[in-house]
């Protein structure tokens, strides 16, 4: 596998379920990101990790819990979600976190539907 991969590609869950989204990057990058993409809204940055440390949490509800065990893997744990959380969740990585115009590379996303 090359680039940024995400699993699963599609997920349907009930409001009481617990599930996790996985992201893996094979680019040797040090920074990883979670974004939420909803229809007719700009991409929303949710979390940023740099060298496994969380450096940004954009007021994301606690029902979303990120985990970054190493620079190559990023998880988003989901618990008691709401229907309005249904969206495409995109993972991205970049070479380094701070400064300049470091290009972010995106995975294909996980299409989440909360019933």
Partner 1 sequence: GDSVTQMEGPVTLSEEAFLTINCTYTATGYPSLFWYVQYPGEGLQLLLKATKADDKGSNKGFEATYRKETTSFHLEKGSVQVSDSAVYFCALSDQGGANNLFFGTGTRLTVIP
Contacts to partner 1 by CB under 8 A: 4, 6, 31, 40-43, 45, 48, 56, 90, 92, 94, 97-109
Report the SS3 class of residue 85: helix
Q: Nearest distance from residue 113's CB to partner 1, in Å?
A: 16
d(CA 112, CA 115): 10
Shortest distance, CB of residue 1 to partner 1, whole angstroms?
A: 14
Q: Tell me the β-bridge partners of 7.
A: 22
Smaller CB separation from partner 1, 84 or 101: 101
- Quick one: 40 or 69, whose CB is closer to partner 1? 40
Residues 104, 93: Cα–Cα separation, whole Å: 5
Between residues 65 and 104, which has the closer beta carbon with respect to partner 1? 104
Q: Nearest approach, Cβ of 13 to partner 1 (angstroms)? A: 21
Asked if the peptide bond before residue 62 counts as cis, ω within 30 degrees of 0, the response is no
Rounded distance, CA 102 to CA 40, Å? 26
Q: Which is nearer to partner 1, 46 or 114 (CB)?
A: 46
Least Cβ distance, residue 24 to partner 1 (angstroms): 13
Distance of CA 10 to the CA centre of its chain: 14
């Amino acid at each position: 596998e090359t680039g940024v991969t995400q699993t699963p590609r599609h997920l349907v869950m009930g409001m009481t379920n617990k599930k996790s989204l996985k992201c893996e990057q094979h680019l040797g990058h040090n920074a990883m990101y979670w974004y939420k993409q909803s229809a007719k809204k700009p991409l929303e940055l949710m979390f940023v990790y740099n060298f496994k440390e969380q450096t940004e949490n954009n007021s994301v509800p606690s029902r979303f819990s990120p985990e970054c065990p190493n620079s190559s893997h990023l998880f988003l744990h989901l618990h008691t979600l709401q229907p309005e959380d249904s969206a495409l969740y995109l993972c991205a990585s970049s070479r380094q976190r701070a400064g300049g115009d470091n290009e972010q590379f995106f995975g294909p996303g996980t299409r989440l539907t909360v019933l």
